[in-house]
Amino acid sequence: MTTNQYAYHYTTNGTAARPQPEGQLLTEKLFRARDSSIERNLSPAPLPPVWAEDLLRIAKAAYLADKLSSRKSASDRWTRAISLSIQLVEPDPWLHHAEPLVTSLLETLTADRWDIRFHPGAASHRGVAGWLFDDETADEVALFSGGLDSTAYAAQQAGATGGPLLLISYYDPALKRRQEEIFEAIRRLGARQLMHRPVLLQSRANGESLEPSSRSRGLLFLSTAVYAAAAHRARRVAVPENGQLAVNPPLTRARPASCSTRSVHPRTMHLVNQLIASVGGDIEVVNPLLSDTKGEVCRRGRDAGLPLATLMTTVSCGHPPRNYGASRMDHCGHCFPCLIRQSGLLAGLGRDDTPYERDVWARQPAGKDIARDRRALAAWLAADFGVRDLTTDLPLPPQTSPTALLRTLERGREELRSLFAHRHASGVPLPRAA
């Protein structure tokens, strides 16, 4: 197996140290945003603990190595071997208990073979004096994508009592304005102090083709939110994702492991929390929507006071048509996240006004096999699903109840069956129970 070798070096002025023989040099310049844009965008704030800086640096390096390593070159067209050397400010805390946790976390997310090594030599980012919130620390940091789940959670928290809430987004330029509009609708719901900090997510190819999958980006998102929480003295980071998509059980035998995204899986969250604790951190990362179906999430947003029109403008698609030049629409209408969205909006709000590029429920849907995910979903709904199926692909951590999580997924399966029943008039067969 060919090993993709990289070395990530960084200094505060954006210049890289002299390349070492570990492999291709990765630097901040491979991000399209300006050097240190993530750190600067979360200012003003006191400098966070060094472990939070180094965690973010590890996540950046892993993301770049992931994007620059083509899965097509792997023998099975998926599983790669990646060797990554990373400069840290204080590597010692990472060299013992943390190092295997980082490897386990990346292997859980990407299903690749990772060889991670840590070295000294990085310099701390220069902080900016002051606070984002009128000389106050933040009470909570939450990831905010502009999707249904993060929007509903932010709306609920905006109306709750508590200290300042900081929302962190990674954005595609095509969606930045949409995120800002949704945030303004959320901000109007309550008197709680809210702040939204968006960060551009794009990497430079520099003449190379980038790997289209990016399973490691979940760690980058999480680490950015943890960095922000550490800087603003918050003790909790929320990553809102409904239980159905957090677990994301493979619909077919061809979609095990990282073929189904694992960014917010309970095991991923458990490993992140173990990692933070192993280097001396005291921040907890949680998924507050793990026990919710998509429909229940939609009702949260409605009950928090968000207009239906705002909920309909959220973006949930896994393969947005604009990404491949097919149209300027935000939802393809046929990927698994789009199908979950349709079931959730119908179950939770009784309607779905989302404009979809393709009608996957037509008798003969236009486009090259756009009904693939619909057929896989129908087969999954027709089969039995129990605790064993819940844990075979990826084990659950000790504190997560399999029976409670199974009840959530069963309610979600009922929402999906109702979607098929709603669309049955289009000629789509109903899933038959096994």
Alpha helices in 113-236 (DSSP H): 148-158, 176-187, 217-231
pLDDT at 14: 47
Lowest mean pLDDT among 246-250, 275-279, 430-434: 430-434
Mean pLDDT of the 274-288 span: 97
Q: Environment class of residue 61 by beta-carbon count within 10 Å: exposed (0-12), middle (13-18) or buried (19+)? A: buried
Q: Which residues are registered as beta bridge partners of 200?
A: 171
pLDDT digits (tens, 9 = 90+) for 132-164: 777 678 999 999 999 999 999 999 999 999 999
pTM: 0.93
The pLDDT mean for the chain works out to 88
With 70 as the cut, is the pLDDT of residue 427 above it?
Answer: no
The better pLDDT of the pair 254, 3 is held by 3
Packing angle of the helix pair 294-303, 336-349 (nearest 10 deg): 50
Take residue 428 and report the two structure tokens written for it.
């789509």
pLDDT at 296 over 70: yes
- The pLDDT value given to residue 191: 83
Please report the beta strands in 140-272, taking only residues with DSSP state E, as ranges in sequence order.
140-143, 165-171, 194-200, 236-238
87, containing H or E segment: strand 81-88
Q: Annotate 46-62 with DSSP letters as a single string.
A: PPPPHHHHHHHHHHHHH
Residue 185 CB coordination number (10 Å): 19
Rounded Cα–Cα distance for residues 373 and 361 (Å): 12
For the segment 171-180, the average pLDDT, to the nearest whole number, is 86
Question: Residues 378-400: pLDDT tens digits?
Answer: 999 999 999 998 988 889 999 99
Average pLDDT of span 324-349: 87
Choose the weakest-confidence range: 13-22, 253-262, 297-306, 376-385: 13-22
Gap between the Cα atoms of 258 and 119, Å rounded? 28
pLDDT score, position 158: 96
- Looking at the DSSP bridge assignments, the partners of residue 195 are 166
The number of CA neighbours under 13 Å toward the Cβ of 355 is 7
> Is the per-residue pLDDT at 35 higher than 60?
no
Question: Which of 24-28, 132-136, 247-251, 265-269 shows the lowest per-residue confidence on average (mean pLDDT)?
Answer: 132-136
Report whether pLDDT(73) > 50: yes
Q: For residues 122 and 120, what is the distance between their CA atoms, to the nearest angstrom? A: 6
Mean pLDDT, residues 54-68:
94
CA-closest candidate to residue 97, choices 32, 51, 38, 147: 51
pLDDT band at 326 (very low <50, low <70, confident <90, very high): low
Residue 20: pLDDT band by 50, 70, 90 thresholds? low
Report the b/e string of 119-142 with b at 16+ CB within 10 A: beebeebebeeebbbeeebbbbbb
CA 354/CA 365 separation, integer angstroms: 18
